[in-house]
Amino acid sequence: MSSTSEIDMLLELKKSQERPVSTTTLEKYKSQYTYLTKINGLSGDWVTEFNEKDLIELIKSLNVKASGRLGYLNVLMLIKQLKNQPVNSILKYRDSLFKENDVDTSVKIKEKQNQNLPTYNEIEYFINNLYKEGDWIRFLYNWLILTYGLRNKDVNLEIISADKYKHLSVENKIGKNFLVVKQTECELVVDNYKTKHAYGTKYIKIRSRKVLRACKLLGDGLLLKKANNEPVGDSELSYYLKLYMNQDFHLTEADYFKINLSYIQTQNNCINRLNELCNSRGTKSIGCIDKYYNLCEDN
């Protein structure tokens, strides 16, 4: 009887872990592994058999950007960890790819300066589809970033029941972000964000049934985790957060903020709504950002 292949072992593990990854992610793992196997003429449990140096050279040979190489490298690293094999060199190479990816992202941002961004309705449709597909984690951080103008760091948070949160000590709340799940609503508590020194802890009431349902389905725990269940560092968020993207765009939280600002200006009572968005983001008052965004007069 043949033994289970290394990629099937990985997929089974990810499906059965406490917080299973989405079907889309599992399919991506499979396709990335299959692609590397095919283009290199490999067979058997080749990741297990290869040493770290050879795997790194294989990834370096790919004619894709850093973000693509990170994805392929991640699958190889997960298999190595599954087999309790060393990954120190892979982790060092991954860190260099994170830096390269940040440079690529900066270039993309500059290129977008002269492009028209997608509309608010397009982003909303994309986020609603995430909910319909049951991609709860991606739905939550996309929804929070768009709705409240949050930065990446703000959504590096822990989902926690109201009862557990109430019993946390003050020390365990300082410098952390929580999405507190109550009976009929949620509350976002943000104490670790860019402008906290100026605006203090942010408390945001969330009365969305979709958000409440997603939180209850996910259960208590970190919203963002690496494949090995370790917390995602703030410096790694740009890689782990997948906002709206297609062949023309790979949007950032700053893009979401601009899109929302533009959308609100077409609505009634726009100045009050713009102020609310700036308050939840933790940014300058609407008067101070007027010169950057050409904001409208109140309707």
In which element (H, E) is residue 158 found?
strand 158-161
Q: Which residues lie across from 203 on neighbouring strands?
A: 189
192 near 156, Cβ under 8 Å?
Answer: yes
Average pLDDT on 120-142 reads 96
Q: Which of 217-221, 274-278, 284-288 has the highest average model confidence (pLDDT)?
A: 217-221
Out of 100-104, 124-128, 161-165, pick the least confident.
100-104
- Per-residue pLDDT band for 110 (boundaries 50, 70, 90) equals low
Residue 209: CB atoms within 10 Å: 9
pLDDT for 228: 82
pLDDT at 284 over 90: no
Give, as one character, the DSSP assignment of residue 63.
Answer: -
Sign of the alpha-carbon torsion through 230, 109, 106, 33: positive
Residue 13 Cα to chain centre, angstroms? 22
pLDDT at 286 over 70: no
pLDDT for 1: 40
pLDDT for 39: 95
Residue 250 Cα to chain centre, angstroms? 13
* Residues whose CB is less than 8 angstroms from the CB of residue 291 and which lie 6 or more positions away in sequence, other chains included: none
**Model pTM?**
0.65
Q: Which residues lie across from 177 on neighbouring strands?
A: 190
Q: Map out the domains of the chain as residue ranges.
A: 6-112, 120-249
CATH 1.10.150 fits 6-112, yes or no: yes
Tokens describing residue 212: 């409440």
Percent helix, strand and coil across the chain, each to the nearest 5: 60, 10, 35
